[in-house]
Chains A and B, each alone.
Chain A
Amino acid sequence: MDENNIVEEVVEANVIKKTNSKAIIGFVCGLVGMFCCFPVGIIGLVFSIIALKESQGDEEGKGKGFAIAGIIIASISIVWQIAVIAIFGPATIDFIKNPNAFMPY
């Protein structure tokens, strides 16, 4: 075997194939959005969609799984926050207690 071929193989084996950082950010933001006050799920969704588009252009599709998981989790966190605020939020409770205050005419 040629020495150059061995060197190339070693180099190829040592190349670290990194996952798309946007996919990881999207996934983490989506996950954090489930457990905190701030609507970081929106940031997670945007990053995950961008990561998914980028991974479709990539032959190996690195980070595609993370991006899809990020989209699902971020969507759930957004829906969860909106639903809770819509159902139990202070504005809704104020409206239930005193609807006339919101509709003066």
Chain B
Amino acid sequence: MIKKNLEAYVFLIGSIAIIFLSIILKYQDGAVYTSIFNIRVSSLYSCPIYTVFKMPCPTCGLTRAFILFTHFKFIEAFRYNAGVFVIFPYLLAQILFQIIEIHRTNNNINNNKLRKLNLYLLILVGVLLISVWILKLLHVLPII
């Protein structure tokens, strides 16, 4: 059953994991920490694009934006990456979509319309994320 719905399960678990992680992590003093043991995690990873080219990639600041967004700090989240206002609802929609898709596939119901709608949503999110990135590069939106 999992093999039959592999993509749906990956997207479902991935979406839940991203939202769950952004809830349990916290952002303070310019670094990301775990809520429980207060372990600093942001020093372990950096954006390769920013490290080499000294310019932000489309997803730069998204981790911090997600953490702040799930802690209801919307203005700060907007400053780090405005794309969070598009991606967060998309992830919530993904959870719903994938549950419906798994249910429909198990009952041998045609999923083509649902998949098409999901694809259009993904393209829309991608275009909006790139638009936010271009606005950042043009300094219309802040680069942090």
**Residues of chain A at the chain B interface (Cβ within 8 Å):** 21-22, 25, 35-38, 43, 47, 50, 80-81, 84-85, 88-91, 94
Evaluate contact between B49 and A94: CB separation under 8 angstroms: no
Evaluate contact between B48 and A80: CB separation under 8 angstroms: yes
Identify which of A25, A36, A38, A81 contacts B7 (C-beta below 8 A). A25
Chain A residues contacting B51 (CB-CB under 8 Å) are 84-85, 88-89
Quick one: closest A residue to B43, CB to CB? A90
Identify which of A22, A35, A37, A94 contacts B6 (C-beta below 8 A). A22
Evaluate contact between A91 and B44: CB separation under 8 angstroms: yes
Given contacts A85-B45, A89-B46, A90-B46, contact A35 B7 (CB under 8 A): no
Interface residue tally for chain B (C-beta within 8 Å) = 20
Residue pairs across A and B with Cβ atoms less than 8 A apart, 22 shown, are A22-B7, A35-B49, A36-B49, A36-B57, A36-B58, A37-B45, A37-B49, A37-B60, A38-B59, A43-B10, A47-B10, A84-B48, A84-B51, A85-B45, A88-B46, A88-B51, A88-B52, A89-B44, A89-B51, A90-B43, A90-B46, A94-B43
Chain A residues contacting B47 (CB-CB under 8 Å) are 36-37
Evaluate contact between B59 and A36: CB separation under 8 angstroms: yes
Most buried by B among A36, A50, A90: A36
Question: Complex: how many Å from CA A90 to CA B46?
Answer: 7
Evaluate contact between B46 and A85: CB separation under 8 angstroms: yes
B62 close to A (CB within 8 Å):
yes
Chain A residues contacting B49 (CB-CB under 8 Å) are 35-37
Evaluate contact between A35 and B57: CB separation under 8 angstroms: yes
Within the complex, the shortest CB–CB distance from A80 to chain B, in Å, comes to 6
| Residues 36-50 (chain B) with a chain A CB within 8 angstroms | 43-50
Evaluate contact between B59 and A37: CB separation under 8 angstroms: yes
Chain A residues contacting B43 (CB-CB under 8 Å) are 90-91, 94
| Residues 44-91 (chain B) with a chain A CB within 8 angstroms | 44-52, 57-60, 62-63
Chain B residues contacting A36 (CB-CB under 8 Å) are 47, 49, 57-59
